[in-house]
Amino acid sequence: MPTAAAVMLILAGLATIASAAPIKVELTGEPGSWKLLRDGKPYFINGAGGEGPQPLLVASGANSGRTWGADNLQARLDEAHRLGLSVAVGIWLGHPRHGFDYNNPESVAKQYDMAREAILKYKDHPAVLMWGIGNEMEGEGDNAAIWSHINSVAAMAKRLDPNHPTMTVLAEMGKNKIKNVHRLCPEIDIVGINTYGTGPSVGERYLKAGGTKPYIITEFGPTGTWEIGRNDFGAPSEQTSTAKATMYRETFIRAIKGNPGYCLGSYAFLWGNKVEATTTWFGMLLADGTRLESVDAMTELWTGKLPANRCPVIQPLQAKPADRGAPGATITISLSVSDPESDSLTAEWILKREITQYETGGDPMDSPQVLADSVKNGSLTGAEVRLPTQPGIYRLYAFVRDGKGGGATASIPLLSGEIPARKK
């Protein structure tokens, strides 16, 4: 139990945050020379989005975090301010694919009021950097009612809060999205772009599409499940944690630091762990907090220095005699992994039923079923897998840890029985 003095210090700290004035954030310049100023000083965003440990984010060299919504943010903002982080606060807007109707006046009015309440609640918090109005709600980008609502919320945000700019976040830049956000959303200051496999070319493509507003890459990371292609039984080949780290580097170097005067910074995805298509596709950390090589890559890019102890380097898993077999058959999997500091490594092998739902749009998913006792003789060089008796698609995961907080992952899809019929 904390002492009375400790309680007083905690309360004093909370009171300081509660009474602190907002830190003014300004957008200055013109196309080709855009800059973000925070408290009058140039501010390039080196950030990540997600609920992972914020102290580790700071220790890795980041200066900002991102949320997708504004529910119950007080503790998050307070912690960020104590750690010296800013926060791009998301204002969640409904997605038509989830059933939200932008032609329904009642639904739109209710959403507008919710956004207003969030802005009024948090606008004076010193950790707030900007308002992220919506995330990937634009669909194909041709619904004028959606753009109109985004612009209305942005205009309201500016009336209520002159201290923070407005941003809306798009799913890549297909069709007329860039054209429409420019001509239909004059109250949006910054264009947020979520991008994955084609991230390195964002800068060139944005200018070619007619972009003149500044942009922030609001999500980037490994090649997406929808981009990487699938094998003959319908499963995608997930990149290893080492290959994913290369994707983070390439997008950051080319599209983020490589387009000064337009790009104001970025938020890597995902700071934490998430089940989406597979157990490991997008998380920069494992569920137990182990960091993966993408964290090392971002640490070097943010600070100019590699961490003192680096994550293991891992190669794709190989299956013999093949990545399929009859139910009950045994497949041998080979693993190649090394450690930059020659740390003593351990390997954990887990077989799970494949989710087989790959294009999720980021929707939350339940963790797939674990097939206990299916993996034998697991080691740092490989494992033997006895295919489940129930036909279907499964995925084998290798989790390697160095005992120093770093890890590596690789996975391979396996087929038990015949190729399943494709869903129409």
Q: What pLDDT score was predicted for residue 209? A: 97
DSSP 113-165: HHHHHHHHHHTT-TTEEEEEEEES--TTS--HHHHHHHHHHHHHHHHH-TTS-
State pLDDT tens for residues 267-316.
Answer: 999 999 999 989 999 999 999 999 999 999 999 999 999 999 999 999 99
Residues 152-172 have pLDDT tens digits of: 999 999 999 999 999 999 999
- Say if residue 247's pLDDT is above 60: yes
Could you give the C-alpha distances from 160 to 101, 111, 116, 124, 267, in angstroms and in order? 26, 16, 8, 10, 26
Q: Average pLDDT, stretch 216-232?
A: 95
Average pLDDT over residues 316-337: 97
C-alpha to C-alpha distance for 73 and 69, rounded to whole angstroms: 9
Q: What is the dihedral of CA 113, 114, 119, 125, to 10 degrees?
A: 150
DSSP 32: T
The CATH classification number of 9-303 equals 3.20.20.80
Determine contact, residues 88/129, Cβ cutoff 8 Å.
Answer: yes
- Looking at CATH, the fold of the domain delimited by 313-416 is given as Immunoglobulin-like (2.60.40)
Beta-bridge mates of residue 325: 416
Which residue ranges make up each domain of the chain? 9-303, 313-416
Tokens of 178: 């860039």
Residue keyed to tokens 């990937």: 136
The pLDDT of residue 423 is 55
- Tell me which of 9-23, 123-137, 165-179, 229-243 is least confident: 9-23
d(CA 6, CA 211): 52
Q: How far is CA 280 from the centre of its chain?
A: 12
- From residue 310, give the alpha-carbon distance in Å to each of 246, 315, 317, 342, 345: 15, 16, 21, 10, 12
Residues, the chain? 424
385-398 confidence digits (pLDDT tens): 999 999 999 999 99
Q: What is the average pLDDT across 21-44?
A: 98
Long-range contacts of 304-308 (CB under 8 A, 24+ apart): 307/60
Helices (H), 254-323: 293-303
Specify the pTM: 0.93
Q: Would you place residue 5 in the very low, low, confident or very high pLDDT band (cuts 50, 70, 90)?
A: very low
